[in-house]
Structure 1
């Protein structure tokens, strides 16, 4: 494609850009914590598309409402209907469209064959593939398959599992229609999302995906100590903050790459440049206690600005310098691209690049306003992944306790602020304590949260509400010898 073709289709990514660390794949859309967890079940253990789930869910809901389910278990169809509609039901959110699919909490794998897709029609995206890419990125090509195996075993239900989970799993198996061709629960092979990435060259540290990979063993080890519902809630809280911060990390990296390439029009890459400069620390995404909307808008604007700019530079360099096989999958390749830009600066036109870039954004003002296209999708991904789930029923307002963003009041226009729910804080405190045998202090906890993009300091705990929340939950104890004056208490250690 030429620059003129870029003007016609500015949001069509070049092949060299796709499936790199900068390519936001799969492209995020709406997703709640339960949608993300259910999608991971399907990504890891069911050979089915998201559109298959919408079809099976509509059929299941119709049979459930008419009590025409061919149930072969020890309970009646009416009892099974009540279990689904009461015992396993997720609350309906204000303004939510009419439910075409059953709303079932992802307690067991079988429940995820009928419910919790990002959209109720069409072919929704699968957030589970985002988790897969995070395992690949966080492991940097070394042990992602080990993480994949551990996740499958933890999400499975066996003879030694929680009795309620075993019962529900068996009930789902007993209500399968003879004509249904539902897939069985079996581990799918790990297939890299980003083939060709030279991880040995990147050696990136401090990313949210790396934090997830490090925290996973501790959270998975809690499963025998808790009920299935409790453990799924903890696991979901970890997924929510990790995935949101990973997407923010990629968004920021796009802007850094764009600025690096622009700078190469005027000076060559530094001799010590190794690619790590493109991936900043993740401790600036979600300042604890701050309003979330300005943060989301800033991140999404950085993403679309960087993505457009990088693709435009690739078009211009390829067309003007005749470069082929441009490599964005290794720091060496990116550095070579930067050097080629500097060497060919007499032929290249930086002013034209800036003008075309600005024009593309000006022609699509709603993108910068986050009200259309990919930026709108990313905005809603952040908002609903991190935000506390709302409910039309007052007795279900506290259903979601693994949130990372909450409303400051009951008013419809109340602000949303960064604030961890009880389950989210317990998951993080336990994970922090599991990272070291020695006692962990609140200073350690703040540094641990920073790895997941949540910014706070021990000196801020008094005013941002985090300190009070941890005291109420019994997660800290005063100690004059500890940094910050408090020691963490693992809520799951006897």
Structure 2
């Protein structure tokens, strides 16, 4: 690979510089469309089904449908270990467990069910109906490792999550029956924990992990522990809904944080190319990691700000790779890592040391040419930018269903339409399941009621700004009252106290 190759196809993964591509701060895997149920189904496959590939899931669903239809047409008996007839099993898959299709999928025939148990993940829940789906579950795994202080603690949480996703005796009778029935119909291979090697996951440097003030993945790890500990307090379906709500919020804010960090890294490198900027590790750390960002404001429009962050990331990706390939071309390749503030500081020093060679090559001019060439992609009209916005919109937004009677199916959303018309903007407004999940996580380990201010602080850890004085008047306050999660108290801030929705659980905050 050379600088010339990169200029010809700057968005191809193989054209990214190895130092950039292998960075713990790179956006990997590259997100595309995913709903909350796709995220959970892919998580099942990542954590417990090593033999299942994402690309084979749609075909497995079609094969299962054909097999059921053949048995129905020829009036053949069910498999040996099945407890229900073929018509009943068909009703379970296409009725009881069926997940609503999107409006643009109304004419398409495919099997799509709620990811209630591991057994349903082998034939349903693929991001695409073709064979080239992206591995959404790998994003969750990466978040767990980036949000944990070391490999051992990440692996322990990953195993605890596997145990929680497994169907055991403490699960409700329907979940236990469904898992057994899926196995009887030969839908599910062996469910077995997939261990993770330290070489296959990305970590943050210890000095960065402890110094970074805002890290959505770290908050996600804490919240995931709280959700796992709450499992026995509810049915499997209720618990899965809570898990979905936390996964969808954490995944989008994690990717947004990475976009923000990438833009800040490019700002530091750009200053180095102008013979100024920072080379001290502590100063670089402060420059590249945001402290109190606001990616969304409660009640406000969300997608425009996310688009700005995505566009900033795309510009940064072009600039960083242009600089790295330019260093290769002038015979001074950068061989250190780009996964830490120390590595970025070293890169800034390396640029300073070779500034005359880079200026002779006119690296800034090359970057401007590439940026102009890719103007449409930088505006998120196509390619990676469009995929990232689609990822955020479908994961955070309330599911839009082809059948209007099912429009209330999704209650764990973070964004909803402001009005009933199609062009109505998406605004930040938590669904009731998301409210339950976030209140539980905000109060986990605290052993009692707390001021409403605690919920605002918790949302701020995901980059969502909310004024606690507005909560009493907006739809969030209404949801909290309807769900019985607040106690009006004249002694509390804003006159409201948050109440734990589930039994107290011990969580290491």
2:181 counterpart of 1:184: no
Q: CA 1:192–1:307 in 2, change beyond 3 Å: closer, same or farther? A: farther
Measured after TM superposition, the shift of residue 57 of structure 1 is: 1.2
Measured after TM superposition, the shift of residue 281 of structure 1 is: 3.5
Report the TM-score when normalising by structure 2.
Answer: 0.91
Measured after TM superposition, the shift of residue 356 of structure 1 is: 2.4
Distance 2:46 2:108 in 1: 23
Give runs of aligned pairs for residues 285-434 of structure 1, distance below 5 A. 285-320=295-330, 322-349=332-359, 352-434=362-444
What residue is the counterpart of 1:169 in the other structure? 179
What residue is the counterpart of 1:19 in the other structure? 22
Cα pair 2:33 2:391 within 8 Å, conserved:
yes
Distance 2:367 2:474 in 1: 39
Measured after TM superposition, the shift of residue 212 of structure 1 is: 0.7
Q: CA 1:221–1:191 in 2, change beyond 3 Å: closer, same or farther? A: same
Segment of structure 1 superposing worse, 423-432 or 45-54: 45-54
Distance 2:107 2:190 in 1: 29
Segment of structure 1 superposing worse, 140-149 or 420-429: 140-149
Structure 2: tracts of 5 or more residues without a match: 505-509
Counterpart among 213, 238, 248 of residue 256 in structure 2? 248
Q: CA 1:268–1:452 in 2, change beyond 3 Å: closer, same or farther? A: closer
Measured after TM superposition, the shift of residue 33 of structure 1 is: 0.2
What residue is the counterpart of 2:489 in the other structure? 479
What residue is the counterpart of 2:64 in the other structure? 60
What residue is the counterpart of 1:4 in the other structure? 4
What residue is the counterpart of 1:220 in the other structure? 228
Counterpart among 468, 474, 482 of residue 478 in structure 2? 468
Measured after TM superposition, the shift of residue 258 of structure 1 is: 0.3
Counterpart among 109, 131, 143 of residue 122 in structure 1? 131
Cα pair 1:387 1:403 within 8 Å, conserved:
yes
Cα pair 1:197 1:330 within 8 Å, conserved:
no
2:23 counterpart of 1:34: no
Distance 1:278 1:118 in 2: 32
Distance 2:230 2:84 in 1: 31
What residue is the counterpart of 1:136 in the other structure? 145
Cα pair 1:20 1:194 within 8 Å, conserved:
no
Distance 1:445 1:193 in 2: 37
Measured after TM superposition, the shift of residue 222 of structure 1 is: 1.3
2:462 counterpart of 1:452: yes
Measured after TM superposition, the shift of residue 321 of structure 1 is: 5.3
SS at match of 2:497: strand
Q: CA 1:60–1:54 in 2, change beyond 3 Å: closer, same or farther? A: same
Measured after TM superposition, the shift of residue 193 of structure 1 is: 7.2
Distance 2:217 2:362 in 1: 37
CA deviations on 1:32-82 (whole Å, 9 max, x unpaired) are 000000000000000111112222111012223344584332211101111
Q: CA 1:333–1:283 in 2, change beyond 3 Å: closer, same or farther? A: closer
Cα pair 2:147 2:215 within 8 Å, conserved:
yes
SS at match of 1:85: helix
Q: CA 1:34–1:455 in 2, change beyond 3 Å: closer, same or farther? A: same
Cα pair 1:29 1:125 within 8 Å, conserved:
yes
Distance 1:460 1:355 in 2: 48
SS at match of 2:427: strand
Structure 1: tracts of 5 or more residues without a match: none
2:216 counterpart of 1:208: yes
Measured after TM superposition, the shift of residue 197 of structure 1 is: 4.5
Q: CA 1:173–1:2 in 2, change beyond 3 Å: closer, same or farther? A: closer
Structure 1 ranges of 4+ moved more than 4 A: 192-198
Q: CA 1:221–1:297 in 2, change beyond 3 Å: closer, same or farther? A: same
Cα pair 2:334 2:350 within 8 Å, conserved:
no
Measured after TM superposition, the shift of residue 414 of structure 1 is: 1.4
Report the TM-score when normalising by structure 1.
Answer: 0.94
Distance 2:84 2:360 in 1: 72
How many residue pairs get matched?
A: 490
What residue is the counterpart of 2:507 in the other structure? none
Q: CA 1:400–1:282 in 2, change beyond 3 Å: closer, same or farther? A: farther
Q: CA 1:88–1:304 in 2, change beyond 3 Å: closer, same or farther? A: same
Segment of structure 1 superposing worse, 379-388 or 444-453: 444-453
Give runs of aligned pairs for residues 70-109 of structure 1, distance below 5 A. 70-72=78-80, 73-96=82-105, 98-109=107-118
